[in-house]
Structure 1
Amino acid sequence: MNPDSRSAAVPSAAGQRTRVLVLSTVAFTLLFAVWLMLGMLSIKIKPELGLTDGQLYNLTIAAILSGSLGRFHFGIWTDRYGGRRVLTALILLTVLPTFFVSRVTSYYELLICAVLYGVAGNSFSVGIAWNAAWFPKDRQGTALGVFGAGNVGASVTKLFGPMLIALVPATGFLDGVVPGGWRFIPVVYAGLLVLMAAAVWFLAPREDRTPARGRALSELVAPMKHARVWEYGLQYTVVFGAYVALSGVLPQFYFANYGKELASSLSLNAQLVSDFDTIKGLKGEAYTAYMTANPAVKTDLDYLSKWIGFLAAICFVFPASLLRPLGGWLSDRFGARGVMAAVFWAMLISGVALSLPLGLGVWAFTGVLFVLGVGMGVGKASVYKLIPEHFPREVGAVGGLVGLLGALGGVLLPLAWAAVPGSTFGALLALTVVSAAWFAAGSVTVRKLAPKPETVSETVSAR
């Protein structure tokens, strides 16, 4: 190849990498919004369908499990068949169940939809493996951090959902064919998913990269024997699983614990403030009857919901998502382990403040929550920078398993919180302490032994 040919090929490869990164990030943002959409919509769905707190937890868990258990397999499939094919198929699988959320009339119908559209959560391992295959090692941290910022999708419904609900007529459009209220949101998502599938299929590079094509499954799963994989899994549970769990319950947590204080500080309807404890317990017909009889209270309650969504998005979900590219860049520049150490300090300090009975007001609570979100956002990128450093040819399998373990944390934490009321941040702090201790022990070992990357492919070939 002559020099001119080589120089022409470089921009082409760079352009293809950029397309993969942009398409996967936008798709992941949308799919993540779909995966966690019940977090914000639950404020409206709970009284309309007469759901209990236990049923809301079940719905959240169903969606998270569906988007977690397949991550290992989706990572391997991406390495074998290419991200373009796997991501397009995954998007199309979520379209119909997302749309049918707008038609549910009972808890069980919504539960079935949650299980089916929850597969959207597996898009994370698809994007990680796809981008790792396209980007060189010295740029993987930044690229994976940019892709992972798609976690911000968790805030899309929280931030824009209440605005759309307020703008759309309650009766919807086309004589109710397109419903109004909260039911309008899943219809919009279903339409966007169709457009996203078309964009990935037609705009992504046709000649995809498949690093695991032709390799035996036993070789791909060999990393599971390394303790380091499970250490990364626990770290990701702390920075991602807890993020997913908190994103799902924060709107309801704010409403239950700080709704009255927030309504008072915003100078909302005096009746809303005085009757707040009663309103929290209303369900079904009783809720509808109260709101019909008190339209001014309903108006201010909708406004309060917007504020809760705004606080949860701006002060937690945004820093825990949008700072992921920064975490990737810092990991590329200063080393992932050093960045991870700083992350643990931030999470331990904020975790202690949130766990102790300090009587934090709504604004102090929100400020400390912001620090926790910053730690999670930077930490998520650091964990995934470590994976290709130690398992460069098994990113799909290892990244999928680590993602699975982290997402399962998003299931187990809400269960712990439901079983032990008031344990939300105490349980998270305990998990952070365990992970930080394992990380510290591993850091001492790294400094003493300075091990080479644990590339399973080299281990296999050496036998």
Structure 2
Amino acid sequence: MPADQELDQELDQELDQELDQELDQELDQDPTGGYRPLVVVLLSPLAFALVFASWTIFAVLGVELKALLGFGEAHFAVLLAMPMAIGGLAALPMAALAQRIGGRRVMIACLLLICPFLWGLSHASDYHHLLLAGAGLGLGAGSLAAGLVYVSGLCPRRHAGLALGLYGAGMVGAGLSYLLLPLISQAYGWRTAPLLYLLPVLLVAALLWLFAEDREAEPDVPDPLQESPPRSPPAALLRRLACWRLWRLALVYSFFYGTFVALALWLPAYLSAQYRLPLREAALAALPFTLAVGVGQVVGGALADARDFRALRWWVSAFVLVCLFLLSYPPFVMQVQGVHGVIALHYDAPLWGFLLLLSLMGAAMGVGKGSLMRLIHRDHRDEMALVGGLALTLGGLFAALLPLVFAVGNEWVGIRTAGFMFLYASLIACMLVMVWDHASDRGARA
């Protein structure tokens, strides 16, 4: 590591220690400070899990909905993409709103907002009703962005990676849908399944309202050296977004985030079609992938608290690249003309091998997400609403693109693993951007 980077890291650690001491003094003076961060750490991931679990309703019940309403792969892909696309578009504005009025208020509002759409989904009668419900559920991503701002503002800075990792581990809410929705659908019908989440969502919103608090916003102090009048908020936002430093970590994080979200929604249908599994078994088979990502994210955040893991993104990206390369291979038969006749070679990845490779890739992706979010907090702790919201926006839009790519691979290309091929190419492009960023950064330091 260059000497200037070591010096920057030491300065960052000293600053973190000073800020931690100030925060501890504030908590000692605040009678609610002892439990407030704990409430945030516990309830925010739960809210995250419930929002994400509501997105996976279409993934788990998709096979039944396609058979009932008679729509094809392309329509199913659009249905999966709808909550991710709306969620991506809502992430950055909701993060900015959380910065202004408080993350708790925005989280509660977004949780309450998805309730009528959960109820409407249980009464949907055609494809357009499902699309409208999916768009409404996508607005719940505002709770994810607001929770990110909320947790990053209240957690102790020396344990920010662990706190953010625990928050991001709320993505294992997909596993809740994998376990419960097939049973509920089989016992009571698919229309009962969306109503399953109404009471938990309302309960978490009530707990946030009763026991959590927003930190008071610090007043804006005008800069006496500023000669020109301040810009309007949209102009200032566009000016900040023109800075490449805001994108460098958010872009890499968005790949891991978007890939996980899209795969979590697509895997039950993929496993059901590729390995001819019943819906319940396909959903349970996808569960280890989501758990591996959640555990990896906590581990990655905790490790990033201990040291600067900037180089870890290279190793994680390289490992995920190898996994995607292997997952991209479709079943094939190859004939080779040998000396004593034709030699037939057959390849078809067994289910256990596919799931093992997928889980290993998920663990690596989780470590990458946890460490990257800690780096974003370390480099942009005063702009978490902007940079964190940007990362969620890019990730949500990328996730919305993937179901369409998977459907194109099925319908037009005729290869189900074409989606993994696209992810492989996307990661290569992302790593090339990382190489360019590293080279330009070294050139600027020279």
TM-score, scaled to structure 1 = 0.79
Q: Quick check: 1:428 aligned with 2:423?
A: yes
Q: 1:439, CA displacement in angstroms?
A: 2.2
Q: Is the counterpart of residue 47 in structure 1 residue 67 in structure 2?
A: yes
**Which of residues 332, 337, 342 is equivalent to 2:305?**
332
CA contact (8 A) 1:148 1:324 kept: yes
Q: Structure 1 residue aligned with 2:286, among 294, 301, 312?
A: 312
**Is the Cα–Cα contact under 8 Å of residues 80 and 211 in structure 1 kept in the other structure?**
no
Counterpart Cα distance in 1 of 2:427 and 2:142 = 24
Distance 1:445 1:386, change over 3 A: farther
Cα deviation 1:113-152 (Å, max 9, x = unaligned): 1111221123221111111111243221111111000111
Structure 1 70/213 Cα, relative in aligned 2: closer, same or farther at 3 Å?
A: farther
| Counterpart contact for 1:330–1:339, Cα < 8 Å | no
Q: Return the match for 1:438 from 429, 433, 437.
A: 433
For residue 9 of structure 2, what is the aligned residue in structure 1?
none
RMSD: 2.4
- The 8 Å contact of residues 40 and 158 in structure 1, kept in 2 or not, is answered as yes
Q: Distance in 2 between matches of 1:159 and 1:11?
A: 40
The more displaced of 305-314 and 210-219 is 210-219
More divergent stretch after superposition (155-164 vs 391-400): 155-164
Deviations 1:295-353 (A, max 9, x none): xxxxxxxxx32221111012x11112232111101111232313222211220110111
For 1:365 and 1:390, the matched residues in 2 are separated by 37
Pairing 1:249–2:223 present: no
The answer as to 2:31 corresponding to 1:57 is no
1:264-275 mapped onto 2 (5 Å cutoff): none
1:120-135 matches, within 5 Å, as: 120-135=140-155
Q: How does 1:402-417 map to 2 (within 5 A)?
A: 402-417=391-406
In structure 2, the partner of 1:95 is 115
What is residue 207 of structure 2 aligned with on the other side?
199
**Cα distance 1:305–1:149, how it changes in 2: closer, same or farther (>3 A)?**
same
Superposed displacement of residue 399, structure 1: 0.8
What letter matches 1:399 in structure 2? G
Deviations 1:182-237 (A, max 9, x none): 221111112222222111111112x5243687897355554312223323333123
Tell me the amino acid that sits aligned with residue 421 of structure 2: G
Q: 5+ unaligned residues in a row in structure 2: which ranges? A: 1-23, 223-231, 331-346
Query: Shift of the alpha carbon at 1:406?
Result: 0.8
Residues 212/317 of structure 1: CA separation in 2 closer, same or farther (3 Å cut)? farther
Query: For residue 390 of structure 1, what is the amino acid of its counterpart?
Result: D
Measured in 2, the distance between the counterparts of 1:211 and 1:407 equals 30
Mapped partners of 2:252, 2:350: distance in 1: 30
Give the letter aligned to residue 326 of structure 1.
V
Report how far residue 241 of structure 1 moved: 0.6
What amino acid does structure 2 have at the position aligned with 1:193?
V
Q: What is the CA distance between 1:249 and its match in structure 2?
A: 1.1
State which of 183, 195, 198 in structure 2 corresponds to 1:187. 195
Question: Is 2:106–2:142's contact at 8 Å kept on the other side of the alignment?
Answer: no
The amino acid that maps onto 1:210 is A
Label 1:450 to 1:34 Cα distance change in 2 as closer, same or farther (>3 A).
farther
Cα distance between partner residues in 1 of 2:137 and 2:196: 14
Question: Residue type of the partner of 1:386?
Answer: L
- 8 A contact 2:295–2:363 mirrored in 1: no
Q: Shift in Å at residue 382 of structure 1?
A: 2.0
In the alignment, does 2:388 pair up with 1:388? no
What is the aligned counterpart of 1:208 among 199, 211, 215? 215
Aligned counterpart for 2:165 among listed residues 112, 134, 145: 145
How far the C-alpha of 1:425 sits from its partner, in A, is 0.4
Q: Kindly indicate whether residue 380 of structure 2 is the aligned counterpart of residue 373 of structure 1.
A: no
Query: What is the CA deviation profile of residues 12-41 of structure 1, one whole-angstrom value per residue up to 9, with x for unaligned ones?
Result: 534211111212111111111112321111
8 Å Cα contact 1:133/1:210 also seen in 2? no
**CA, structure 1 residues 149+114, in 2 after alignment: closer, same or farther (shift >3 Å)?**
same
What is the SS of the residue equivalent to 2:130?
A: helix
1:323 to 279, 296, 302: 296
1:255 Cα deviation from its structure 2 partner: 0.9
1:204 aligned partner, one-letter code: A
| Aligned-partner SS, 1:104 | coil
Q: 1:426 corresponds to which letter in structure 2?
A: M
Q: Identity rate of aligned residues, in percent?
A: 29
- CA apart distance, 1:403: 0.7
Distance 1:416 1:403 in 2: 20
Secondary structure of residue in 1 paired with 2:381 = coil
Paired residue for 1:458? none
Does the 8 Å contact 1:236/1:380 carry over to 2? yes
Supply the AA of the counterpart residue of 1:351.
L
2:19 paired residue number: none
Equivalent in 324, 330, 335 of residue 351 of structure 1:
324
**Residues matched between the structures, number:** 391
* Shift in alpha-carbon separation, 1:255–1:394, aligned structure 2, 3 A: same
SS of the residue 1:430 aligns to: helix
The equivalent of 1:233 in structure 2 is 250
3-state DSSP of counterpart to 2:33: helix
Residue 89 of structure 1: CA displacement? 0.7
Q: Distance in 2 between matches of 1:147 and 1:321?
A: 9
SS of residue matched to 1:44: helix
Aligned mates of 2:56, 2:287 — CA distance in 1? 13
Given the alignment, which residue of 258, 261, 269 partners 2:275? 258
Question: Does residue 27 of structure 1 match 2:16?
Answer: no
Do the aligned partners of 1:125 and 1:403 also contact (CA within 8 Å) in 2? yes
Q: Say if 1:35 and 1:67, in contact at 8 Å, map to a contact too.
A: no
